[in-house]
Amino acid sequence: MTFDPDKHHRRSVRLRGHDYSSSGLYFITICTYQRQCLFGEIVNGEMRLNALGEIVETEWLKTSEIRPKWRLEAWIIMPNHIHGIVTIEQQQKSIKHGTIARVHGVAPLRDATQLKGIAHRKPDSISSFVAGFKSVTTKQINISRNTPRTPVWQRNYYDHIIRNNFSLRQIEQYIQNNPTTWQSDQLYPAQGTA
Protein backbone atom coordinates (compact mmCIF):
# COMPACT_ATOMS: atom_id res chain seq x y z
CA MET A 1 0.00 0.00 0.00
CA THR A 2 1.32 3.44 -0.94
CA PHE A 3 1.53 6.16 1.70
CA ASP A 4 -1.30 8.67 1.32
CA PRO A 5 -0.98 11.65 3.72
CA ASP A 6 -4.73 12.27 3.50
CA LYS A 7 -5.47 8.73 4.76
CA HIS A 8 -2.45 7.91 6.88
CA HIS A 9 -2.29 10.50 9.63
CA ARG A 10 0.77 9.63 11.72
CA ARG A 11 0.75 12.49 14.17
CA SER A 12 2.82 12.01 17.28
CA VAL A 13 1.03 11.86 20.61
CA ARG A 14 4.28 12.72 22.41
CA LEU A 15 4.78 16.10 24.08
CA ARG A 16 6.39 18.31 21.46
CA GLY A 17 9.90 19.38 22.38
CA HIS A 18 10.26 17.04 25.36
CA ASP A 19 13.38 14.86 25.53
CA TYR A 20 12.00 11.43 26.44
CA SER A 21 15.47 10.25 27.43
CA SER A 22 15.81 13.00 30.04
CA SER A 23 15.66 12.39 33.78
CA GLY A 24 12.19 12.00 35.19
CA LEU A 25 9.26 9.76 35.95
CA TYR A 26 7.17 8.37 33.09
CA PHE A 27 3.90 6.44 33.17
CA ILE A 28 3.64 4.06 30.23
CA THR A 29 0.76 1.92 28.97
CA ILE A 30 1.25 -0.59 26.15
CA CYS A 31 -1.82 -2.43 24.80
CA THR A 32 -2.11 -5.66 22.89
CA TYR A 33 -3.13 -5.74 19.25
CA GLN A 34 -6.91 -5.29 19.02
CA ARG A 35 -6.90 -5.43 22.83
CA GLN A 36 -6.80 -9.21 22.84
CA CYS A 37 -6.59 -10.74 26.31
CA LEU A 38 -3.33 -12.65 25.91
CA PHE A 39 -1.55 -12.44 29.27
CA GLY A 40 -3.88 -14.13 31.74
CA GLU A 41 -7.04 -13.31 33.62
CA ILE A 42 -8.37 -11.49 36.63
CA VAL A 43 -9.56 -13.88 39.36
CA ASN A 44 -11.07 -12.46 42.56
CA GLY A 45 -9.50 -9.06 41.92
CA GLU A 46 -6.00 -10.45 41.27
CA MET A 47 -4.12 -10.79 37.99
CA ARG A 48 -3.08 -14.37 37.22
CA LEU A 49 -0.45 -14.48 34.51
CA ASN A 50 -0.40 -17.26 31.96
CA ALA A 51 2.76 -18.35 30.07
CA LEU A 52 2.54 -15.36 27.69
CA GLY A 53 2.11 -12.98 30.62
CA GLU A 54 5.19 -14.50 32.23
CA ILE A 55 7.19 -13.74 29.06
CA VAL A 56 6.09 -10.09 29.31
CA GLU A 57 6.94 -9.99 33.03
CA THR A 58 10.42 -11.46 32.48
CA GLU A 59 11.25 -8.90 29.78
CA TRP A 60 9.82 -6.00 31.81
CA LEU A 61 12.04 -6.94 34.75
CA LYS A 62 15.12 -6.96 32.49
CA THR A 63 14.64 -3.24 31.81
CA SER A 64 16.88 -1.97 34.59
CA GLU A 65 19.53 -4.61 33.81
CA ILE A 66 19.71 -3.44 30.19
CA ARG A 67 19.38 0.25 31.09
CA PRO A 68 21.36 0.92 34.30
CA LYS A 69 20.07 4.52 34.58
CA TRP A 70 16.46 3.27 34.63
CA ARG A 71 14.45 2.12 37.63
CA LEU A 72 11.13 0.31 37.55
CA GLU A 73 8.59 1.70 39.96
CA ALA A 74 4.97 0.48 40.24
CA TRP A 75 3.81 -1.71 37.34
CA ILE A 76 1.23 -4.35 36.48
CA ILE A 77 0.51 -6.68 33.61
CA MET A 78 -3.20 -6.91 32.84
CA PRO A 79 -4.94 -9.34 30.44
CA ASN A 80 -4.50 -7.01 27.43
CA HIS A 81 -2.03 -4.31 28.50
CA ILE A 82 0.81 -3.37 30.79
CA HIS A 83 1.07 -0.24 32.94
CA GLY A 84 4.35 0.88 34.40
CA ILE A 85 6.13 3.81 35.98
CA VAL A 86 9.75 4.17 34.91
CA THR A 87 12.35 6.49 36.42
CA ILE A 88 15.16 7.69 34.20
CA GLU A 89 18.11 9.04 36.16
CA GLN A 90 20.56 11.63 34.86
CA GLN A 91 22.66 10.17 32.06
CA GLN A 92 26.33 10.92 31.57
CA LYS A 93 27.43 11.70 28.03
CA SER A 94 30.96 11.03 26.97
CA ILE A 95 32.57 12.57 23.94
CA LYS A 96 34.66 10.27 21.80
CA HIS A 97 36.31 11.65 18.66
CA GLY A 98 33.66 14.33 18.17
CA THR A 99 30.60 12.05 18.43
CA ILE A 100 28.49 11.17 21.42
CA ALA A 101 29.24 7.61 22.54
CA ARG A 102 26.07 6.25 24.15
CA VAL A 103 24.21 2.99 24.29
CA HIS A 104 20.89 2.17 22.60
CA GLY A 105 19.77 -0.70 24.80
CA VAL A 106 22.98 -2.68 24.56
CA ALA A 107 23.86 -2.00 20.90
CA PRO A 108 26.43 0.66 19.94
CA LEU A 109 24.99 3.79 18.35
CA ARG A 110 26.31 5.20 15.09
CA ASP A 111 27.33 8.82 14.69
CA ALA A 112 24.21 10.89 15.50
CA THR A 113 24.64 12.91 12.27
CA GLN A 114 23.86 9.78 10.25
CA LEU A 115 20.51 9.17 11.95
CA LYS A 116 17.60 10.82 10.20
CA GLY A 117 13.95 10.11 9.50
CA ILE A 118 10.92 8.80 11.33
CA ALA A 119 12.56 5.48 12.30
CA HIS A 120 15.24 7.15 14.44
CA ARG A 121 14.70 6.76 18.15
CA LYS A 122 16.87 8.59 20.62
CA PRO A 123 19.06 6.18 22.60
CA ASP A 124 17.79 5.30 26.08
CA SER A 125 14.49 7.04 25.37
CA ILE A 126 11.01 5.83 26.21
CA SER A 127 10.33 5.18 22.50
CA SER A 128 13.49 3.09 22.03
CA PHE A 129 12.61 1.13 25.17
CA VAL A 130 9.02 0.47 24.05
CA ALA A 131 10.16 -0.54 20.54
CA GLY A 132 12.73 -2.97 21.93
CA PHE A 133 10.33 -4.36 24.54
CA LYS A 134 7.62 -4.94 21.93
CA SER A 135 10.06 -6.55 19.52
CA VAL A 136 11.55 -9.00 22.03
CA THR A 137 8.21 -9.99 23.59
CA THR A 138 6.51 -10.36 20.21
CA LYS A 139 9.24 -12.69 18.99
CA GLN A 140 9.14 -14.81 22.16
CA ILE A 141 5.34 -14.92 22.32
CA ASN A 142 5.05 -15.91 18.65
CA ILE A 143 7.64 -18.67 19.11
CA SER A 144 5.78 -19.88 22.20
CA ARG A 145 2.40 -20.10 20.45
CA ASN A 146 3.82 -21.00 17.00
CA THR A 147 2.31 -17.96 15.28
CA PRO A 148 5.10 -16.35 13.22
CA ARG A 149 4.68 -12.71 12.19
CA THR A 150 1.44 -12.30 14.18
CA PRO A 151 1.04 -8.89 15.82
CA VAL A 152 1.05 -8.90 19.62
CA TRP A 153 1.06 -5.16 20.40
CA GLN A 154 -0.84 -2.18 19.04
CA ARG A 155 1.19 0.26 16.95
CA ASN A 156 1.63 3.00 19.53
CA TYR A 157 1.68 3.40 23.31
CA TYR A 158 0.46 5.87 25.89
CA ASP A 159 2.82 7.90 28.03
CA HIS A 160 2.47 10.55 30.69
CA ILE A 161 5.27 12.63 32.19
CA ILE A 162 4.83 12.58 35.98
CA ARG A 163 5.60 16.08 37.22
CA ASN A 164 4.75 16.00 40.94
CA ASN A 165 4.19 13.70 43.92
CA PHE A 166 0.40 14.09 43.83
CA SER A 167 0.28 12.79 40.26
CA LEU A 168 2.72 9.99 41.14
CA ARG A 169 0.55 8.83 44.07
CA GLN A 170 -2.61 8.87 41.93
CA ILE A 171 -0.98 6.79 39.20
CA GLU A 172 0.52 4.35 41.71
CA GLN A 173 -2.93 3.89 43.24
CA TYR A 174 -4.48 3.41 39.78
CA ILE A 175 -1.91 0.69 38.98
CA GLN A 176 -2.41 -1.03 42.34
CA ASN A 177 -6.22 -1.00 41.98
CA ASN A 178 -6.31 -1.93 38.29
CA PRO A 179 -7.18 -5.62 38.82
CA THR A 180 -10.06 -4.83 41.21
CA THR A 181 -11.53 -2.24 38.83
CA TRP A 182 -10.91 -4.29 35.67
CA GLN A 183 -14.54 -4.61 34.57
CA SER A 184 -14.99 -0.83 34.59
CA ASP A 185 -11.58 -0.14 32.99
CA GLN A 186 -11.56 1.59 29.59
CA LEU A 187 -9.29 -1.22 28.32
CA TYR A 188 -11.72 -3.95 29.41
CA PRO A 189 -12.75 -5.80 26.24
CA ALA A 190 -16.25 -5.37 24.87
CA GLN A 191 -18.66 -8.25 25.42
CA GLY A 192 -17.93 -11.27 23.26
CA THR A 193 -14.29 -10.32 22.51
CA ALA A 194 -12.59 -11.70 25.64
For 143-179, what is each residue's pLDDT tens digit?
999 999 999 999 999 999 999 999 999 999 999 999 9
Could you give the CA distance from residue 154 to residue 193 in angstroms, rounded to a whole number?
16
Distance CA 83, CA 11 (A): 23
Give residue limits of the domains in the chain: 24-181
91-137 confidence digits (pLDDT tens): 555 444 443 333 333 333 344 444 444 445 566 789 999 999 999 99
String of DSSP letters for 34-88: GG---SEEEETTEEEE-HHHHHHHHHHHTHHHH-TTEEEEEEEEETTEEEEEEEE
Q: Which CATH number fits domain 24-181: 3.30.70.1290, 3.10.180.10, 3.40.50.300, 3.30.70.270?
A: 3.30.70.1290
Give 134's contacts (C-beta < 8 A, 6+ positions apart): 30, 152, 153
> What kind and span of H or E run contains 30?
strand 24-31
* Predicted confidence (pLDDT) at residue 9 exceeds the cutoff of 70: no
For every residue of 125-170, DSSP letters joined together read SHHHHHHHHHHHHHHHHHHHTT-TT---B-S--EEEEE-SHHHHHH
Helix/strand/coil for 102: coil
CA–CA dist 168, 95 (Å, integer) = 35
pLDDT in tens, 18-77: 667 788 999 999 999 999 999 999 999 999 999 999 999 999 999 888 888 889 999 999
